[in-house]
A = this chain, B = another copy of it.
Amino acid sequence: MNPPSTYHSVAANLQSWIMSGELPPGSKLPSERRLCERLGVSRVNARDAMHFLEGQGLIYRLNRIGWFVAPAPFIYDPTRTHSLLDEAKSQNRKLDTELIQAARVPAPLAIARKFGIPATTEVLNVLRRRAVDGRWVLLESCYYQEDDFPNLLDQDLTASLNALVRNTYGFKRRRQNIGISSKPLDQVQAQQLRVREGSPSLKLSRDVIVDGRCVVAEAEHWLHDAIEMRMRGRTTG
């Protein structure tokens, strides 16, 4: 319907290359300038097409490196009690975990409020990034009440933190408050996942409540196209 040089048609072109398998998931797209030449459009136009397909979750980019074909999203149950590694295994996906930081830090305001402690109190913070099939897609920041988790920093913090809380520290009877929202990554977060500042993410926050007290506060930032959350079997009134 439109003349052939709209960004929609550029996007349609790319899309057909992807759908046809010419460009398999994970593969790198031709550079923007090469695409301009090949399709006879200006660079802005080509970029608009990329941004459009990025929004569709069909392609993603690594900052200043290039555009890539997005793999299928990871399926994830945020109410899970088992480790993410198991979930990855059952989906036949490779999960890598990298510890970025593990330290005793002054409680950020929001965390202090959740824990019901003064803002100057020190808490434990574990910061990790995780990759699915080689792509960094998840940033985890977990805060722990220090008194409840003695020697936490000496544990293996690249394994399941969930299991640690449940088994090593014995917090089995617990409730969770879960929040899900769409949040852009700030500069630091973006750098850690090698994406641009402001990249859209799905933020999952989880407060673990034991005996009416919040003892763990987690925040997960997932690149928006890499994740799909599913919760099964909730019973309601």
Residues on A lying within 8 angstroms of B by beta carbon are 44, 52, 55-57, 73, 79, 81, 172, 174-184, 198-200, 202, 224-225, 227-237
Contact = CB atoms under 8 A, between A and B. Distances in A.
A53 B73 CA distance: 26
B56 A184 contact: yes
**A interface secondary structure, majority:** strand
Given A57-B184, A176-B234, A182-B224, 5 more contacts: A57-B183, A174-B235, A177-B233, A178-B231, A180-B228
A182 B182 contact: yes
Contacts of A234: 79, 175-178
Contact of A231 (B44, B177, B228): B177
Contact of A230 (B52, B178, B236, B237): B178
B56 A176 contact: no
B176 A200 contact: no
A203 B171 CA distance: 33
Contact of A198 (B56, B175, B177, B180): B56
Given A57-B182, A57-B184, A180-B229, A235 B52 contact: no
B235 A175 contact: yes
B232 A200 contact: no
A55 B181 contact: no
A180 B172 CA distance: 26
10 contacts: A55-B184, A81-B237, A172-B237, A174-B236, A176-B235, A179-B229, A179-B231, A182-B224, A182-B227, A200-B224
